[in-house]
Amino acid sequence: MANITRYIAFSLLMFVGPNVTEKVGIDYKIVMILIALLSILITIYTKINIKAKREELFLLLFISIYCMFKMAFDTSDGTRMLSLILLLTPIVFLAYPSNYNMSYSNIRLWHGLQKVVLVFYIIECGIAIFEQYTGIYIFSYAGNEGFYNDNFQDRRALGIHGHPLQNALIISTFMCFILISPIKIKYKYILWGLGYWAILSFNSRSSILGNGLLFALYNLGQLSSGKVNVLYKLGVIVFLIAGVTVVSYLISQGMFGGRLQNGLIDDSSQVRIDVWSIFDHYDIMDFAFGVSSDRLNAIIYSLGLYATENFWIDILLRFGFVFLAIVVVLYYFLIKRLMYPYSLSKRMFVLAGFFIIASTNNSLSVTSTPLIIFLFCCILFNPLLLQITLDRKYFNFKESVLDLHPVQSNVNIKI
């Protein structure tokens, strides 16, 4: 019963995004609250192991106490919404088993969620490509007026999860984990290529360039590695040349990723640069415990800005430097536990990929979905788990063993 409820909560998180609820006329906050309630019920019903889930518990306790303190002095809609967003991640993650517990029941659960993720990835990418190519939008977005366009160059797919940048961050997260996974190379490139096509459809310049750079770095690492033979390296070079040629043609024709033709600096990207001018007028410790929404709006407007467009600055200004620093430390320990089986190079690769792309916009301060998905990916792409759940014809055994954390490389899991 608990696992069925987990599947329902996870499916709601993945498939019922803001654009879906906008289309059917439901407030997305209702979905967030429903996911939270289901997660709380699961946590109570299964009587969680406090020691195994202490990182999530510390996060939940600290964020809960701080949010109550914050809302005692600032009852604005913005503060309440950000509090819900910050609380949802530890609430959801408490409801799922620890990544250390590789019991038969838990492996079946993770295997089922892997299938859900694959289905979501294909559907989300398919929707994005269809919307960009046809100009027909399947779902709706409350601020979509600027995305409906008759020409390819400025058109942007909307997908399932809100703004194109949020969708691009989610797909980018999967793409990073796909690259470092022990999946055979041909399937890895097919899945990554599908994701990149979707990124081009979302027309997110930071994600297009960021994922292109990450893909190049990954393949340079493969080419310089002694693990692979000459034929493999030749195949990678041919694929890279063909891929760069096709992508360059699509962008030059404005068919996909056409916003790159506008250059890297326009009104949208300039806001992301100008927002740092706040610290020309204020010291970071002026925001030690955050400011009220009214005060924040006054600061932004006084500097001629209309938005922050950066989740770090959003959280820093609203909740304060002290809160942000402690939350970062607590998430460090959670991510460290979740990524323990990964080699150091792969940990650095996915962390850099996720947070660099996330830092180019404010996605993580308007929704918790990308962060929750990132944390789930840490478990679902665990090489030890994939060694058990993945069909042998898709699995690269050599890469799985060589890229494990040194302590984990000799682990023998028995079910």
Q: How far apart are CA 312 and CA 284, in angstroms?
A: 12
Residue 194 included in any domain = yes
Q: Please, what's the b/e burial string for 233-245 (b: 16 or more CB within 10 A of its CB; e: otherwise)?
A: eeebeeeeeebee
Residue 408 lies in a domain: no
3-state secondary structure (DSSP) of residue 103: coil
Within-domain flag for 411:
no
Q: Report if residue 175 sits inside a domain.
A: yes
Report the distance separating Cα 293 and Cα 217, nearest Å.
Answer: 41
User: Is the distance from CB of 291 to CB of 317 less than 8 angstroms?
Assistant: yes
Where in the sequence is the domain holding 216, given as residue range(s)? 1-403
Q: Where do the DSSP E strands lie in 331-409?
A: none
Q: Is residue 151 situated within a structural domain?
A: yes
Among residues 391, 392, 395, which one has the least CA distance to residue 383? 395
In a domain, 213, yes or no: yes
Report if residue 111 sits inside a domain. Answer: yes
CB 365, CB 314: distance < 8 Å? yes
What is the distance, to the nearest Å, from the Cα of residue 159 to the centroid of all Cα atoms in its chain? 15
Question: Is residue 415 one of the residues assigned to a domain?
Answer: no
Tokens standing for 294?
Answer: 């009214």
Give the amino acid at 34.
Answer: L
pLDDT tens, position by position, for the chain (415 residues)? 788 999 999 999 999 999 999 889 899 999 999 999 999 999 998 877 778 899 999 999 999 999 998 888 887 888 888 999 999 999 999 999 988 888 888 999 999 999 999 999 999 999 999 998 888 889 877 655 555 555 556 678 899 998 898 999 999 999 999 999 989 888 999 999 999 999 999 988 889 889 999 998 998 887 777 666 777 777 778 877 887 787 777 776 666 655 666 656 666 667 777 777 888 888 888 888 888 888 888 888 887 776 777 888 889 988 999 999 999 999 999 999 999 889 999 999 999 999 999 988 888 888 999 999 999 999 999 988 998 988 887 777 665 544 545 444 444 443 3
Assess contact for 317 and 296: CB atoms under 8 A: yes
Residue 283 DSSP SS3: coil
The packing angle between helices 344-358 and 369-380, to 10°, is 170
Q: What is the number of domains present in the chain? A: 1
In the chain, % helix, strand, coil (3-state, to 5) comes to 70, 0, 25
